[in-house]
Chain A
Amino acid sequence: MQRRGFLAMVGAAFVVGCNKVAETEAGANLLSAAERWHMGAQRLLRDRSALAPEYPRSKISPFFRGNGSTDPQNGDYQAQAAAGFADWRLEVRGLVDNPLSLTLDNIRRLPQRTQVTRHDCVEGWSAIGEWTGPQLGTLLEAADLRGDAKFIVFRCTDNLNGDDYYESIDMVDAFHPQTIIAHSLNGEALPVRNGAPLRVRIERQLGYKHAKYLTAVEAVASLDGIGRGKGGYWEDRGYQWYAGI
């Protein structure tokens, strides 16, 4: 047999073996357990509020690529965009004692945080941008977050392949100082490709956590029954809920 053919056969046999392992329940459990070990190890190694690296403005990339949805066509998004998002609302709801419905102007008037950070896409590319917006914690406190809230779910207006985009984080990341509801990129209103008019920044995790086109921030006790129950659009398609790896 040709050596190349032999290698291909051994490689393919190994791949088939791996696929068989992944198909068993124990194999699938093991694969998802590794993600939790990484999350535990990272939280052990660093302070819960330790900051992701921030850069000087001179390091900002000349362009900030968009990915996933870059121009939502569903609902009244196009009309809202044409009107400069004048009627856009962000709801803060769920397990809160004081639900909010905020205009963009309300959001711009809150105390702001500006941060120059690196965005790492799960695919492997990176871009650096300057984001401005209020901390999510400020909004949650204003809404009187209840003690039984365990996760924050981000509701988005964009729809990919028939499903509404959504994401979720736990309270460690929700109250992290760099978790902000950004309305500006590099000193200007967010471009549509980057999530206009509002997106969340969760700087210690990969790009798909940073949900765009935000319509609501929802406090929940469990992720069951939301989407397919895995905590996010990409998580429902097999991606890791903890995207810090």
Chain B
Amino acid sequence: MKRHSISTRIWHWINLVFVVTLFMSGLTISNAHRYLYWGDWGFQAEQAWLAVPRFPDWMTIPGYYSLAVARDWHVLAAWPFALGLLFMWLAMLANRHFKRDIATSRREWRPGHVWRDIKAHLRLDFNHGPGKYNFLQKLSYGLVFGVLLPMMIVTGMAISPGMGPSFGWMIDLLGGRQSARSLHFVFAFSILGFFIVHVALVFLSGPIRQIRDMITGGRTDAA
């Protein structure tokens, strides 16, 4: 296993704090109007494609229902989250982490290779030889970096009424303001899904070493 670079380690933990803050304050905002719609408008249950459950206080920021305070936390955390993601992308491109470790090769997409990787994961066999990550890891990290995290920013901006004059085309591309709001929710829960699998795999693959390496960087060795 190669070392995690300093930029990766710093971003990883800072990002965790802000993603958690955004998610938990987002649950309060969701509680303010628990219906999701497609298109430009929607205001009542009968028009909704999903009635979201009410989230309990221990999951939400602040720990009681206050849309005003939740919005304060959400707009505050949005800044370091967005700037951090920009920093991480620049760092990944500059130190070649993306090209070397995350970008997949055509060979890895062959069905036989993908199937072998799935079977190895099901056997909890994480010894994947040379290279930092195996195929499923690359795919999920690629999706998180390339789609889920940036789309949180894009859909978030599309919900902001002040951005309409500059990015009306972006709102149309997403299918309207309420569609953008629905997608903001869908991508947020996709990130939660990634988070759960990510943490579960850390626990199954040597949690002490994994967490230590994400703090200290880990050992440099030939493999």
CB of B35 within 8 A of chain A? yes
How many A-B residue contacts, CB cutoff 8 Å? 146
Q: Contacts A31-B76, A38-B75, A122-B67 known; A15 to B162 CB distance under 8 Å? A: no
Q: Contact between B41 and A118 (Cβ–Cβ < 8 Å)?
A: yes
How many angstroms from the CA of A128 to the CA of B63 in the assembled complex? Answer: 34
8 A Cβ contacts from B18-47 to A = 20-21, 24, 29-30, 32-33, 35, 37, 40-44
Interface stretch (choices B54-62, B111-119, B131-139) = B54-62
Contacts of A14 in B (CB 8 A): 20, 24, 61
Interface stretch (choices A49-57, A97-105, A140-148, A220-228) = A49-57
8 A Cβ contacts from B84-119 to A = none
- Pick from A15, A31, A52, A63: contact of B24, CB under 8 Å: A15
CB of B178 within 8 A of chain A? yes
8 A Cβ contacts from B144-192 to A = 159-166, 168, 171, 177-178, 181
- Pick from A38, A52, A240: contact of B165, CB under 8 Å: A52
Q: Contact between B69 and A238 (Cβ–Cβ < 8 Å)?
A: yes
User: Who on chain B is nearest to A13 by CB?
Assistant: B58
CB of A108 within 8 A of chain B? no
8 A Cβ contacts from A155-187 to B = none
Contacts of B69 in A (CB 8 A): 22, 31, 238
CB of A206 within 8 A of chain B? yes
Q: Contact between A46 and B165 (Cβ–Cβ < 8 Å)?
A: yes
How many angstroms from the CA of A107 to the CA of B68 in the assembled complex? Answer: 35
User: Who on chain A is nearest to B20 by CB?
Assistant: A14
Interface size on A, residues (CB 8 A): 53
Q: Contact between B33 and A15 (Cβ–Cβ < 8 Å)?
A: no
CB of A205 within 8 A of chain B? yes
Q: Contact between A126 and B68 (Cβ–Cβ < 8 Å)?
A: no
A59 CB to nearest chain B CB (Å): 6
CB of A87 within 8 A of chain B? no
A-binding residues in B (CB < 8 A): 20-21, 24, 29-30, 32-33, 35, 37, 40-44, 57-63, 66-69, 71-73, 75-76, 78-79, 159-166, 168, 171, 177-178, 181
Residue pairs across A and B with Cβ atoms less than 8 A apart, 20 shown, are A15-B63, A19-B62, A31-B69, A31-B76, A33-B76, A34-B78, A38-B75, A51-B165, A53-B164, A55-B40, A63-B43, A120-B161, A123-B33, A125-B35, A125-B41, A125-B42, A126-B37, A126-B177, A128-B40, A240-B72
